[in-house]
Amino acid sequence: MSVVFTEYGPYRPLSDRLPAFLETYPPSQGYGIEIEVSDLLAIKPGLRILYEAAIKADKSFVQAYLERGDVWVVKGNDREALAEYEQALKIQPQFATAYERIGMLHQRNKNWAEAERAYLAVTRIASQSPVAYNNLAWVKLAQKGGEQEALRWATKAAGLAPQSGQIQDTLGWVYRAVGDKAKALEILQHAITLEPKNPEILYHLGIAQAEFGQKKEGMASLRHALELKKDFAGADEARAQLAALEK
């Protein structure tokens, strides 16, 4: 997955939260700060022991299953991660975040029907979640003939999160897919003002600029994206597009 959103405020690394996990957030209270799955601390064996202790203390502590699933994601074991998230849902069937994680796993593995099913479950439980609508847009965009439905979901997400550059970026990219290049450029230009140092948004903006006849601006945006990060999602495509424009 290229982006992991958190619904509980600013991300805090595990090093800021442990080892006081159980003492600070006992099972009876739940735990409201999600792991960012790229956190390298999550591969430490001690974390799994910690979550197992939480589950042993209270088998209904759904957040421990969720975070243990996140550890498996980092370790590259999607099967175990899925089992953890599904166990959390058995305990708490209306746990929107678990459905969201399941959707992300299926989306990454291009299991589009399963991803869509999971994200739709999120929208039924948490109808104001921009993350679910945003990810539904990407799922539909990845499928042939899904552009109009993708536009519907992306528009919904953007309305719920008008200050999110990443979500506005999704809407702009979907407008490009449906053939409205002017609208795509307008929205992507706005998205980059919200997150000026996001290489993926710059990449999308560069493509939109070039396709709209703004070749010089498009090349500048693509170069800037690659200067900010050489290996962002879409970097290879950005290099190829830049090379083609430079000819």
Banded pLDDT at 70 (limits 50, 70, 90): confident
Q: Is 153 in contact with 177 (CB distance < 8 Å)? A: no
Q: How many Cα atoms within 13 Å fall on the side-chain side of residue 236?
A: 0
Distance CA 21, CA 116 (A): 33
Overall average pLDDT of the 163-182 stretch? 96
User: How would you classify residue 117: left for phi > 0, otherwise alpha for psi between -120 and 50, otherwise beta?
Assistant: alpha
pTM exceeds 0.95:
no
Higher pLDDT among residues 162 and 56, named by residue: 162
What residue has token string 């795509």?
184
Q: pLDDT by residue (tens digit) across 4-41?
A: 333 333 334 444 444 444 444 443 333 333 333 333 33
How far from chain centre, in Å, is Cα 120?
A: 15
Q: How far apart are CA 224 and CA 203, in angstroms?
A: 8
